[in-house]
Structure 1
Amino acid sequence: MSDVPEFTIRVDQNPYLPAGGREMHAIVTVEAHSSAGEEATGEDDDETERRRAPAAEVILIDTSGSMSYRGKMAAAKRAARAAVNVLRDGVRFAVVAGANRPRMIYPQGERLVVADETSRRNAVLAVARLEAAGGTAIGSWLRLAERLFTGYDGAVRHAILLTDGKNQHESAEELDAALRVCTGRFLCDARGVGTDWDVAELRKITSALLGGFLDVPDPADLEADFLAMTRAAMGKEVADVSLRVWTPRHARLRFVKQMVPAVEDLTGRRVESGMQTGDYPLGAWGDESREYHLCVEVDEPGDVGRQMRAAWVKLFAGDAALASGNVLAEWTDDETRSTRISGRVAHHTGQSELADAIQSGLEARREGDEDTATARLGRAVVLAREVGNEQISDLLDRVVDVIDPARGTVRLKRDVSKADEMSLDTRSVRTVRTRHGDAADGPGEKRSSSQEGPP
Structure 2
Amino acid sequence: MATFRAEVFQNEFLPDGGTDVHAIVTVTAEGVGGAATTGGGVAEIIMIDTSGSMTGPMLAAAKHAAQVAVDTIPDGTWFAIVSGSHVAQRVFPYPNAPVAIVQMEPGAREEAKRAVARLSAQGGTAMSTWLRLADQIFATQPAATQRHAILLTDGKNESEPRAQLTSTIQAVTGRFQCDARGVGERWQVDELREIATALLGGVELIADPADIAKDFQALLATSLSRGVADAQLRVWTPQGGQVLFVRQVAPTVEDLTARRTEVTPLIGAYPTGAWADESRDYHVAVRVPSKTVGAEQLAARVQVAVADEVVASGLVKAAWSDDASLTARISPEVAHYTGQAELASAIQEGLAAKAAGDEATATVKLGRAVQLAAETGNEEATSKLRRVVEIEDEEHGTVRLKRGASRLDEMALDTASTKTSRVRR
TM-score normalised by the chain length of structure 1: 0.89
Assess if the C-alpha contact under 8 Å between 1:56 and 1:152 holds in 2: no
- Is 1:425 the counterpart of 2:411 in the alignment? no
CA apart distance, 1:263: 0.7
Assess if the C-alpha contact under 8 Å between 1:53 and 1:236 holds in 2: no
Partner of 2:405: 416
Partner of 1:73: 59
Partner of 1:257: 247
Partner of 1:55: 42
State the Cα deviation string for residues 145-183 of structure 1 (Å, max 9, x = none). 000111326521000000001111122222122112211
- Is 1:89 the counterpart of 2:75 in the alignment? yes
State the Cα deviation string for residues 201-241 of structure 1 (Å, max 9, x = none). 00111111111110111111111111111111111112221
- SS of the equivalent of 1:368 reads coil
Assess if the C-alpha contact under 8 Å between 2:32 and 2:227 holds in 1: no
CA apart distance, 1:121: 2.0
CA apart distance, 1:21: 1.6
- Is 1:400 the counterpart of 2:397 in the alignment? no
CA distance in 1, matches of 2:268, 2:239: 14
Partner of 1:346: 335
CA apart distance, 1:88: 2.0
**In the alignment, residue 148 of structure 1 is paired with which amino acid?**
I
CA apart distance, 1:393: 0.5
Assess if the C-alpha contact under 8 Å between 1:164 and 1:195 holds in 2: yes
- SS of the equivalent of 2:330 reads coil
Partner of 1:447: none
Partner of 2:51: 64
CA distance in 2, matches of 1:36, 1:292: 23
Partner of 1:232: 222
Match of 1:364 among 353, 364, 369: 353
- SS of the equivalent of 1:100 reads coil
Instruction: Give the percent of matched residue pairs that are identical in Structure 1 and Structure 2.
Output: 50
CA distance in 2, matches of 1:90, 1:238: 17
Partner of 1:443: none
The CA RMSD over aligned residues, in Å, is 1.6
CA apart distance, 1:250: 2.1
CA apart distance, 1:130: 1.6
Match of 2:197 among 191, 201, 207: 207
CA distance in 1, matches of 2:40, 2:304: 18
Partner of 1:101: 87
State the Cα deviation string for residues 354-382 of structure 1 (Å, max 9, x = none). 00111111111112222211111111001
Partner of 2:180: 190
CA distance in 2, matches of 1:154, 1:218: 33
CA distance in 1, matches of 2:17, 2:144: 48
Partner of 2:30: 33
CA apart distance, 1:53: 7.7
CA apart distance, 1:415: 2.1
CA distance in 2, matches of 1:35, 1:368: 48
Match of 1:270 among 240, 256, 260: 260
Given the superposition, is the C-alpha separation of residues 287 and 29 from structure 1 closer, same or farther in structure 2, using an over 3 Å criterion? same
CA distance in 1, matches of 2:143, 2:294: 49
TM-score normalised by the chain length of structure 2: 0.95
**In the alignment, residue 26 of structure 1 is paired with which amino acid?**
A
Assess if the C-alpha contact under 8 Å between 2:348 and 2:417 holds in 1: yes
Match of 2:378 among 389, 395, 401: 389
- SS of the equivalent of 2:197 reads helix
